[in-house]
Structure 1
Amino acid sequence: MTMRLAVAYDVSDDTNRRHVYRTLQRYGAWRQYSVFELEISKTDRVELEAELESHIDPSAGDRIRIYRLCSACQDATTDIGNDPPDGQSNVI
């Protein structure tokens, strides 16, 4: 069984931010500059969280927030403006 997640991150160091971006890219789709949507299993989520934690520095103010999106929430999602990006971000 899989779950849909929205992941937002704020990472100060360029190298750490790049690692977080690349980690999330392996699991899901980039939606906005610091936001990904993922469709993953419970096991993958545990692995993802451990890997993300290794790429941030909380003492520098780094944060990652993971939201689980229920089916009703997914159906109620609205995009305003441009379509989500298909290509690479401007991650350094």
Structure 2
Amino acid sequence: MRLAIAYDVNDDTDRRRVYRTLERYGAWRQYSVFEVDVSKSERVELEDELESHIEPVDGDRIRIYRLCQSCQDNTTDIGSDPPDEKSNVL
């Protein structure tokens, strides 16, 4: 299944961990946004790992959207290319 994952993480170390975790599963699309292709079991593992990298009491959050095939087919990119691979890694 294809997922779009957006995250807001305050702590630099935790943000780097979230980024590195998502990098193993998919493609960085925009600052704090990834698209990943995972199986059902991989999604559970991914969610568990991401949850371990954030502090909700600090306002951290991760939002996961499932992208159906119709949604994927109707995705439009407007503007410049995605950010440089290293520009968001602290």
TM-score (norm 1): 0.93
Select which of 45, 48, 51 maps to 1:47. 45
Rounded Cα–Cα distance in structure 2 between residues aligned with 1:16 and 1:7: 16
Specify every segment of 5 or more residues in structure 2 that has no aligned partner in the other structure, as ranges.
Answer: none
Q: What displacement does 1:86 show?
A: 5.8
Q: Alignment partner of 2:63: what SS?
A: strand
Q: CA RMSD in A?
A: 1.0
Q: In 2, distance between residues paired with 1:89 and 1:21?
A: 12
Cα shift at 1:89: 3.3
Rounded Cα–Cα distance in structure 2 between residues aligned with 1:67 and 1:89: 24
CA shift, 1:83, in A, is: 2.1
- Greater CA deviation, 80-89 or 34-43? 80-89
Q: Residue 12 of structure 1: which of 3, 10, 14 is its match?
A: 10
Residue 37 of structure 1: aligned partner? 35
Instruction: State the match for 1:79 in structure 2.
Output: 77
1:82 Cα offset (Å): 1.1
Q: CA deviation at 1:33?
A: 0.8
C-alpha separation between the residues in 1 aligned to 2:66 and 2:87?
A: 23
Q: CA deviation at 1:36?
A: 0.1
Partner of 1:60: 58
Distance 1:84 1:59 in 2: 31
Aligned runs of 1:21-32 on 2, under 5 Å? 21-32=19-30
Aligned counterparts of 2:47 and 2:79: Cα–Cα separation in 1: 30
SS at match of 1:26: helix
